[in-house]
């Protein structure tokens, strides 16, 4: 039995700067008349408790004094992200981060899995697009858990299949780090050089007992045992 190497998706397997982060900004602008800056989004992510981009968007809209039902925010968000009326969705702007061969080499040493705040079917779309030959199993999304990150439900579910083998979790937010610590998994943080609050994020990762902090997942082979 191999150890588990579990990946968050956004900011780890794919760069979502022009997909999810841009969708947040456009959703906020639609309801309030002005977008939210990328640095402000990261400030909320670093605060913790905003792993869900729908909830983050709704929170920002409400904080600007605009009352709108959560479901309306979700519907508009999804229209931007997936596209509508023939217009392409911002999901198509996602950029895959793993260099060729990396995940295949890791799969020879570890059992690969995904625990993401996305809907599972959305994660599967991206994995089929960029890494259809890589065996990620299981894939746990937001609807497969009762409580979202930083609660460890998803990692605990995966850990039940580990048969006592180590579990590593690779994530890019403080909620990922806290989730990992609560589940008893070793955490590797991803703090991209282009992150507008990178230095603060790195400090947060170390304060949550990260085993390593990397610029991107292409440094994983050197960081893992």
Q: pLDDT by residue for the chain (225 residues), tens digit each?
A: 899 999 999 999 999 999 999 999 999 999 999 999 999 999 999 999 999 999 999 999 999 999 999 999 999 999 999 998 888 999 999 999 999 999 999 999 999 999 999 999 999 999 999 999 999 999 999 999 999 999 999 999 999 998 889 999 999 999 999 999 999 999 999 999 999 999 999 999 999 999 999 999 999 999 998
Domains of the chain in start order, with CATH, are: 4-15+95-223 (3.40.50.1000), 20-93 (no CATH)
Please tell me the pTM assigned to this model.
0.95
Q: Do the bridges between strand 87-88 and strand 83-84 make them parallel or antiparallel, or are there none, so unpaired? A: antiparallel
Position 44 scores a pLDDT of: 96
**Residues 73, 61: contact at Cβ < 8 Å?**
yes
150 Cβ contact partners less than 8 Å away, ≥ 6 residues apart = 48, 49, 51, 174, 175, 176, 178, 179, 182
Tokens read off for 220: 């994983």
């Amino acid at each position: 039995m191999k150890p588990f190497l579990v990946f968050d998706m956004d900011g780890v397997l794919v760069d979502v700067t022009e997909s999810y982060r841009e969708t947040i900004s456009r959703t906020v602008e639609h309801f309030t008349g002005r977008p939210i800056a990328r640095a402000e989004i990261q400030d909320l992510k670093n605060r913790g408790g905003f792993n869900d981009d729908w909830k983050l968007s709704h929170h920002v809209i409400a904080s600007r004094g605009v009352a709108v039902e959560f479901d309306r925010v979700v519907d508009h968000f999804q229209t931007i992200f997936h596209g509508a009326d023939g217009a392409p969705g911002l999901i198509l702007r996602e950029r895959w981060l793993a260099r060729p061969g990396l995940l295949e080499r890791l799969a020879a040493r570890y059992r690969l899995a995904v625990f993401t705040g996305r809907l599972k079917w959305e994660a599967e779309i991206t994995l089929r697009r960029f890494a259809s030959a890589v065996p990620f199993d299981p894939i746990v999304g937001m609807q497969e858990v009762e409580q979202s990150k930083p609660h460890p439900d998803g990692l605990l579910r995966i850990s039940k299949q580990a048969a006592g083998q180590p579990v590593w979790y690779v994530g890019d937010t403080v909620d990922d780090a806290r989730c990992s610590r609560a589940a008893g998994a070793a955490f590797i943080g991803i703090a991209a050089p282009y992150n507008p609050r990178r230095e603060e994020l790195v400090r947060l990762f170390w304060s949550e007992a990260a085993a390593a902090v990397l610029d991107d997942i292409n440094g994983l082979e050197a960081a893992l045992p």
